[in-house]
Each structure stands twice: as structure tokens, then as C-alpha cells.
Amino acid sequence: MLDKVTREDFVPRVGETFRVEEAGVDLVLAEAVDLSVRGGSPGPRRAPFSLLFRGPKQPVLPQRIWALANEAIGGIDIFLVAIGPDADGVRYEAVFN
């Protein structure tokens, strides 16, 4: 399934909660970022994008594949990397290319 998802699948979900049941944590999708090179064409492959999530300050989830659940999308396994804290919690990123 991951090879089929696009940024457009997530843009309407910005601001929504994604549950990480195993860790007992809710993450909020903060951004769905287009990583395409300006003027370039993705060709037969999808355009690269990243998802930025925000979670609580504790616990900090280790880098790995996590099963996330969202009402609209359902379940999806995503490799998340903690990219650092901010004033509201911890930020996580998932990159799709």
C-alpha cells in the first residue's frame, strides 16, 4: 500500500489525529510537504513528499516502522523519525520517494 499513497491522500488529513496504539500515543498530522524538484516531472513514479507529525513531549518514539490508525485512512505502517522537540511537543517525519 505504501507504494500507492501520495501527498494528496494526506493533505485533507492535516490537523487530524493518527493513533499509535502500540505506544499509546496520538500524533497530529501537521504538514504534508511536496518534495518535488521545481520544474521536474516525477515520470512514472509518484512525486516525493514528506509527512510531519507532532506528538506529546513524552514518550519520544524511537525511529522505526509504526502502525498508525486514522478514521479516514484506516491503518497504515509508516517509518517515523523523531526530528526534534518544539514548544508543543516532539516532531516526527516520514519521507516517501
Q: What percent of the chain has pLDDT over 70?
A: 88
What are 54's three cell numbers?
Answer: 507532532
Rounded to whole angstroms, how far apart are CA atoms 94 and 20? 14
What are 51's three cell numbers?
Answer: 509527512
The pTM score is: 0.89
**18: exposed, middle or buried (Cβ count in 10 Å: 0-12, 13-18, 19+):** buried
pLDDT tens per residue across span 46-78:
789 999 999 999 999 999 999 999 999 999 999
Per domain, the residue ranges of the chain are 7-36+44-96
**pLDDT above 80 for 3:** no
Q: What ranges in the chain are assigned the alpha helix state H?
A: 7-10
